[in-house]
Amino acid sequence: MKIYHNPRCSKSRQTLDIIKKHKKEFEIVDYLKDRLSISELEIIIKKLGITTLGLVRKNELIWKENYKGKNLSDKEIVRAMIENPKIIERPIVVNGEKAILGRPPESVLKIIN
């Protein structure tokens, strides 16, 4: 299991705490420091079962100033997230072929059991 984690995010910390309490083995990926590859991000989006745009934090200033209102392809949105990982919604938990956003943090329970 992997958690794509931002230690400054309260939802991310809460999700991590839930995983720890269930004594599951996991790997922490600090996606702000260790950027994801394009293929890795595309696989995560597919596992989440959401649109590419659904993984974007649309209230982030970077998104508002540079991308909002533009007609972007999925590839362009993925590239924007790779170049600006702060706009990736978090936390993301991947367990095998399943993935979930930890919003709310308790939603992680759906894939850790």
Second CATH level (architecture) for the domain 2-112? 3-Layer(aba) Sandwich (3.40)
Q: What does the block give as tokens for 113?
A: 């059991």
pTM assigned to the model: 0.94
pLDDT tens digit sequence for 66-77: 999 999 999 999
pLDDT tens digit sequence for 26-74: 999 999 999 999 999 999 999 999 999 999 999 999 999 999 999 999 9
How far apart CA 106 and CA 21 sit, in angstroms, is 12
Which residues does the annotation mark as catalytic? 9
* H-state helical runs in 22-89: 38-48, 61-66, 74-83
